[in-house]
């Protein structure tokens, strides 16, 4: 049996900054610790997230997250089984996608 590694990161986004589209084969949990931001699962509307929110992203679900238009956002990101199945990164989130609130 392979190792199951967990990666934990504390990430801060400036207003309007965001990740590229990506997915986590083991899933991901986001614990929003400061500010207001956005999270979107591919094919679904943008979700406004804020301090205290917990976002659970299922395995292999393409998504992005970042700061809102006028406010930064910080979160703790927890990715499961990261060593054996690292995150997969895709194209940047376009301004049109980002502004489609």
Q: What is the pLDDT of residue 82?
A: 67
Nearest alpha carbon to residue 39 among 67, 11, 8, 70: 67
First to last CA, the chain: 43
Can you point out the beta strands (E) in the chain?
6-13, 20-23, 28-41, 47-50, 54-57, 63-67, 73-80, 88-92
Q: What is the pLDDT of residue 11?
A: 97
Domains of the chain: 6-96 (2.60.120.10)
Paired tokens of 63: 């998504």
Instruction: Write down the pTM of the prediction.
Output: 0.91
The 10s digit of each residue's pLDDT in 54-101 is 999 999 999 999 999 999 999 999 998 766 778 999 999 999 999 998
pLDDT at 4 over 70: no
The 10s digit of each residue's pLDDT in 8-18 is 999 999 999 99
In the block, residue with structure tokens 């956002």: 73
List Cβ neighbours of 1 (8 Å cut-off, separation of 6 or more). Answer: none
């Amino acid at each position: 049996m392979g190792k199951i590694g967990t990666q934990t990161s504390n990430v801060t986004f400036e207003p309007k900054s965001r990740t590229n589209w990506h997915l986590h084969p083991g899933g991901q949990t986001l614990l929003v610790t400061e500010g207001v931001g956005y999270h979107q699962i591919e094919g679904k509307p943008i979700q406004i997230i804020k301090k205290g929110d917990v976002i659970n992203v299922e395995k292999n679900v393409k998504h992005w997250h970042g700061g809102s238009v006028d406010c930064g956002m910080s979160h703790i990101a927890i990715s499961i089984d990261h060593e054996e199945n690292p995150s997969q990164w895709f194209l940047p989130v376009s301004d049109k996608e980002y502004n489609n609130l």
